[in-house]
Amino acid sequence: MTQLTHFDEAGRAAMVDVSAKAETSRIAIARGRIVMAPATLALIQAGQVGKGDVLGVARLAGIMAAKRTAELIPLCHPLMLSKVSVDLTPAPPDAIEIEALAKVTGQTGVEMEALTAVTLAALTVYDMCKATDRAMRIEDIRLVHKSGGKSGSWDAA
């Protein structure tokens, strides 16, 4: 098993020193979904949610969240992201599938940025639709691909 990297010799939480690492092109893709009542999905698709364009607002929220990941997760490095995309796809009868891609040329990966983008996009859908459906469930948020860096590429099974 790989040793955990966010601890110093004394076992205290510590930010990883990436100064000796080479800059490489790094990409991460994360996915998740939000499950809801079929009637809630129908409202979203028809553009009839009182707070506005749910999918458009959630897309922007995901992008903004990826850009602020280091402010949300204590030991993440601030990154100069070169690309973030968030796609929300209705999956009838009762879900929206969310996928986020984050890309950087740098010394550390962008997995947390992609995961944060999916999570905040899902939370935004929940926030915008909670008056209609408090039973929505955010599910299965996970990393599905990463490339770049010393460890190379990885894809979920």
Active site residue: 127, 133, 140, 155, which one? 127
CA distances from 76 to 56, 73, 80, 100, 113 (A): 27, 6, 13, 18, 9
Packing angle between helix 38-46 and helix 111-129, nearest 10 degrees?
Answer: 90
d(CA 26, CA 24): 6
Q: Are 27 and 103 in contact (CB under 8 A)?
A: yes
Closest CA to 45 of 117, 94, 100, 99: 94
In the annotation, is 140 catalytic?
no
| CA pair distance 48, 34, nearest whole angstrom | 18
Helix-strand-coil split of the chain, %, nearest 5? 30, 30, 40
| Residues forming the active site | 127
